[in-house]
Structure 1
Amino acid sequence: MTSSQILQNLNPAQNDAVIHRGGPMLVVAGAGSGKTRVLTHRIAHLIEQDNVNPFQILAITFTNKAAQEMKDRVAALVGPVAENMWVSTFHSACVRMLRRDAEQLGYPRAFSIYDQADAVRLTGYVIRDLGLDTKKFVARSIHAQISNLKNELVESQSALDNAASIFERKIAEIYSEYQRRLRVAGAMDFDDLLTVTVELFRNHSNTLAHYQERFQHVLVDEYQDTNPAQNEIVLKLGDRHRNVFVVGDSDQSVYAFRGADIRNILDFEKAFPDTGIVVLDQNYRSTQTILDAANSVIANNYGRKPKDLWTDKSAGDKIVLYR
C-alpha cells in the first residue's frame, strides 16, 4: 500500500500523528476524533513506509474486542503480515512474557491464573483462617483493596509498614497471607500479571533488554486509563528505542476506582521531555451545539490537557434540560 493510500481521508492532525518520524509521541484524542483510525494507520505506515518489521511492534489496548478490531483494521491495510505483531491487552501481553520468563522469579512456567471469583474465594479463606470477623472484613471488599495496592505497586510489607490504623494493618496481614498462598499454589491473580512483570523488568535487566529490543515500537490506546503498574511497563519497554506512541484523553478518565492514574498521561512529557504532541480536536460524532456545551463544562477542570472540540457538522438542535 502506498503512502498516499495510507494517508487518504485523514485530517491534518491525524496525518501529522500517523507520519511521526519516531521518538515519543502523545496524541491527545478527543471523543469521536478518530483515534482508532490514527493508531491503525500509524501501524500501517510504520510497516509499509518505514519498513519496520511487524515482529517489532507491540500495540496495547484495554479489551480483547478492541485488540481484535485493531488487528483486523491493520490487516485490511497491510495484509497477513499483521499477524506477526503483538496486538493485545496489557494482561494478555504480560501472560505471554511471563510464560517465557516467570521461572526467573520462582514461578512455574505453567503458573495458574486466578480469575476474580478464585481470588475473592481465596481472600475469604484467608480472612476466615486468620480468625477475623467476616462481616467487618468482607472478602470482595478486602480483595478490591488488595487489588488497588497491587496496581499502585505497593507490596504487602510496605502496606503493613505504612498502615495508619488497626483496620489497615489487618488488610496488610490478609494481603501478605493471600500472596503467600498464591505463591505456594504456583498461581497469580490478574493484578499479579502486571506487578510480576514489573518485578521481572526491575530485577532482570537482560530480560528487560530482550523485550526492549523485540518491541522497538510500543503503541498504547486509552493511556488515561493506565494504572501505575501498566505505566511502568510501558516506560520500561520504551526506554531504549523511545518509540512510544500513546493515545488518550484526560477528559475521558473514568476508571480511577479501578486504579487508573490520570497523572500517567499528564506527566508523559516528564518521562520523555522531547515528546511530540498532536491534538485531535475535530469531532466526527456530535453537533457543534453539543461540543460547545461539553467544552464549556470540561473547561472547569484544570487537571487536563487543553483542547476545544469542533466539527464541520451543522449546529444541530438546541440542548434541552428536562427537570
Structure 2
Amino acid sequence: MTLALNPQQDAAVRHPGGPLLVLAGAGSGKTRVLTARIAHLIRERGVAPSRIFAVTFTNKAAGEMRARVAALLGADPRGLWIGTFHALSARLLRREAALLGFGPNFTIYDQDDSESFIKRLLEQRGHSPKANPPRAIHAIISAAKNRMVLPEELGASADGPLERVAAEIYAGLGPALRQANAMDFDDLLLFPLTLFAEHPERLAYWQRRFDHVLVDEFQDTNAAQYRLVKQLATEHRNLCVVGDDDQAIYGWRGADVRHMLSFQQDFPGTTLIKLERNYRSTQVILDAANGVIAENARRLGKTLFTATQGGEPVTLLTAADERDEAEWLAGELSRRAADGDVAYEGMAVLYRTNAQSRPLEEAFRFRGIPYRLVGAVSFYERREVK
C-alpha cells in the first residue's frame, strides 16, 4: 500500500536523518506523515521496528497509527514501540523497576486511586480531608510533578495552608507509594528520568536501544516528557517532532509550547518543514483562522491554504448575553431550515462547556427546534431539575 503525498509531506517522510520539526497546521495530514515516515524507516531504510520509539497522546491514536503502519507495510510491525508517554514509560519501567525500589508488577494508580491514597495519608497525618480535599491536593501535586518541582520546592513556594499541606503530603507520597509497590500517572513520566540520573549506564543503554524517536502533538508536551525524548535522542539526534504551536491549548495541565518554539535552538541543525495545505476546510474559514492566529505574540508562523475555494461566510456576533446569543442562533437555524438550505439533522452547535446548554435548549424548545445533546444530559432531563 502507498500513500499520495504532497511535496512537503513527502520531504518529511523521506527526511534523511537528524532533528526534524514538522510544523503541521490543522487538517494538513500530520498523522499520514507520521505513519508514512515510520513505514518508510522500516521498509526503505531497514530500521527494525523495535528500534523505533513513537509517542502519541491517546491510546486510540496509538492504535490507529499502528494499524495504518501495518496497512502500509502489509504486515504487523512487531516490536514497534508506539503508544502514549505513560504507556511507553510503563513498559520501560517494568524492565527497570528493581533499580528504583519497585517490583516488576507494580500497580499503576489512576486518579481515583491516587485521591483515595492521598486521603489516607491526610488522615494518618491528622489533616481533615474535608478541609483539605484530596482532589485539590492531588491537583497541586500533579501540577508540581508535571513541572518537575520537588516537594521541598513546592513547600518553599507555598502561599496558603492548602499548598503547605500539599507539600507535606507530596514529601510523604513517594515513600508511601514505593512501600505499596505502586506508581501514579505522573510517576510514570518522572521515574525514567530518575533512573537515568541515578544510573547513567541505563541511560546509555536506552539511548543505544532506539535509532529513531518520533513525537506527535509535540506542542502538548510537558517538562518531563520533553526531557525524556531529548535524553533518548541525544546521541543519534534522530528526533522527529510533529505539532502545531497554534493549537497549544493544554497549558493548564502542564504542557509548555516553549518546547516547540525553542526546538531549533535545543537541536542545532534542525530541518523545519511546514505543512500548510489544509484538506479539511474552505478558504473562507482558513482566512478567518489565519487572521485571528496571526495576532499571537509568539509563534513559529505559517499560513494555511486549501484548494477548496469559497465556502460559507464567517459571521461574528457580539451578543448582549448568553440568552441573546441563544435566541439569535435559534432564529438563524430556524430560518435556514425553513429556507431549505439544510435540514436540522445537518446542523451542529458547539459550545465550550455543558453548562452552556441551558439557554440554547430553552431557545430551541421555544421555537420547536428538535435537538439532541451529544455526550451530555439535557438540562431538562437532569435529576435535580426533574
Distance in 2 (CA, whole Å) between partners of 1:304 and 1:102 is 40
Tell whether 2:303 aligns with 1:308: yes
- C-alpha root-mean-square deviation of aligned residues, in Å? 1.5
Q: Secondary structure at the match of 1:9?
A: coil
Tell me which moved more, 313-322 or 41-50: 313-322
Alpha-carbon distance, 1:321 to partner: 3.1
Q: Secondary structure at the match of 1:175?
A: helix
Tell whether 2:259 aligns with 1:291: no
- Could you tell me which of 97, 100, 107 is aligned with 1:102? 97
What per-residue deviation string (whole Å, max 9, x for no partner) do you get for residues 127-155 of structure 1?
Answer: 23322343432111110110011111112
Residue equivalent to 1:68: 63
- Could you tell me which of 76, 86, 89 is aligned with 1:91? 86
Structure 2: where are the runs of 5+ without partners? Answer: 318-324, 326-386
Preserved CA contact (<8 Å) 1:153 1:229: yes
TM-score, with structure 1 as normaliser:
0.94
Structure 1: where are the runs of 5+ without partners? Answer: none
Alpha-carbon distance, 1:165 to partner: 4.5
What per-residue deviation string (whole Å, max 9, x for no partner) do you get for residues 192-215 of structure 1?
Answer: 011011111222111111111111
Q: Secondary structure at the match of 1:84?
A: coil
Q: Secondary structure at the match of 1:83?
A: coil
- Could you tell me which of 14, 26, 32 is aligned with 1:37? 32
Residue equivalent to 1:17: 12
Distance in 2 (CA, whole Å) between partners of 1:315 and 1:136 is 57
What per-residue deviation string (whole Å, max 9, x for no partner) do you get for residues 34-86 of structure 1?
Answer: 00000011111111211212121111101111001000000011132512211
Distance in 2 (CA, whole Å) between partners of 1:115 and 1:194 is 14
Tell whether 2:266 aligns with 1:271: yes
Alpha-carbon distance, 1:162 to partner: 3.6
Residue equivalent to 1:317: 312
Q: 1:167 to 1:139 in 2, by over 3 A?
A: closer
Letter of the structure 2 residue corresponding to residue 200 of structure 1: L
Residue equivalent to 1:52: 47
Tell whether 2:146 aligns with 1:148: no
Q: Secondary structure at the match of 1:80?
A: coil
Residue equivalent to 2:196: 201
Preserved CA contact (<8 Å) 2:140 2:163: no
Q: Please say which structure displays the higher CA radius of gyration.
A: 2
Alpha-carbon distance, 1:320 to partner: 2.2
Alpha-carbon distance, 1:10 to partner: 0.7
Distance in 1 (CA, whole Å) between partners of 2:120 and 2:92 is 30
Give aligned pairs, total. Answer: 318
Residue equivalent to 1:121: 116
Q: Secondary structure at the match of 1:108?
A: coil
Tell whether 2:253 aligns with 1:234: no
Distance in 2 (CA, whole Å) between partners of 1:315 and 1:133 is 61
Tell me which moved more, 168-177 or 36-45: 168-177
Letter of the structure 2 residue corresponding to residue 89 of structure 1: T
Distance in 2 (CA, whole Å) between partners of 1:293 and 1:150 is 38
Letter of the structure 1 residue corresponding to residue 27 of structure 2: G
Distance in 2 (CA, whole Å) between partners of 1:250 and 1:110 is 38
Residue equivalent to 1:175: 170
Preserved CA contact (<8 Å) 2:137 2:162: no
Q: Secondary structure at the match of 1:120?
A: helix
Q: Secondary structure at the match of 2:169?
A: helix
Letter of the structure 2 residue corresponding to residue 15 of structure 1: D
Alpha-carbon distance, 1:115 to partner: 1.2
Tell me which moved more, 288-297 or 148-157: 148-157
Residue equivalent to 2:134: 139
Alpha-carbon distance, 1:166 to partner: 4.5
Alpha-carbon distance, 1:124 to partner: 1.6
Preserved CA contact (<8 Å) 1:113 1:188: yes
Q: Secondary structure at the match of 2:278?
A: coil
Preserved CA contact (<8 Å) 2:132 2:162: no
- Could you tell me which of 74, 81, 85 is aligned with 1:79? 74
Distance in 2 (CA, whole Å) between partners of 1:64 and 1:99 is 19
Letter of the structure 1 residue corresponding to residue 302 of structure 2: K
What per-residue deviation string (whole Å, max 9, x for no partner) do you get for residues 159-190 of structure 1?
Answer: 22343444432221011122221121111001
Distance in 2 (CA, whole Å) between partners of 1:24 and 1:49 is 19
TM-score, with structure 2 as normaliser:
0.79
Distance in 2 (CA, whole Å) between partners of 1:174 and 1:223 is 32
